[in-house]
Amino acid sequence: GAVVSQHPSWVICKSGTSVKIECRSLDFQATTMFWYRQFPKQSLMLMATSNEGSKATYEQGVEKDKFLINHASLTLSTLTVTSAHPEDSSFYICSALTSGGAKDTQYFGPGTRLTVL
């Protein structure tokens, strides 16, 4: 299957600072990438859809000014959590969509665990 990486795998930061998470598709180009968040013992919740070269589309209730998404190339999307607070502590997971009609599939990165102190 296709490979998606994330960096960093974990990060601890102080309240009020910003954190950037990178998502890369390693062996395929992805016009569309997705960002999810997962709190303990809960399922994944979609935060936003990121399309290369255009603005991201955010799900209802997700603050676009707090969670900045940039998809500047076909293999890289970044999520920046601005002015992070303890309630932003979560497991952030990206996915990249392969193209190809019936074969199109989202492949997920390993996730980034964010802890805000």
Residues that bind another protein (CB under 8 A): 1, 4, 6, 31-32, 34, 36, 43-46, 49, 51, 91, 93, 95, 97, 99, 101-102, 104-111, 113
- C-alpha triplet 91, 94, 99: angle, nearest 5°: 160
Tell the residue number behind the tokens 């296709």, with chain if given.
2
Q: Which of these, 116, 114, 117, lies nearest to 21 by C-alpha position?
A: 114
Q: Which helix (H) or strand (E) holds 13?
A: strand 10-13
**Of 14 and 54, CB closest to another protein:** 54
**Of 18 and 42, CB closest to another protein:** 42
Minimum CB separation of residue 40 from another protein in Å reads: 10
Distance separating alpha carbons of residues 67 and 79, to the nearest angstrom = 6
Q: DSSP letter at 59?
A: P
Minimum CB separation of residue 16 from another protein in Å reads: 27
**Of 81 and 93, CB closest to another protein:** 93
Minimum CB separation of residue 83 from another protein in Å reads: 26
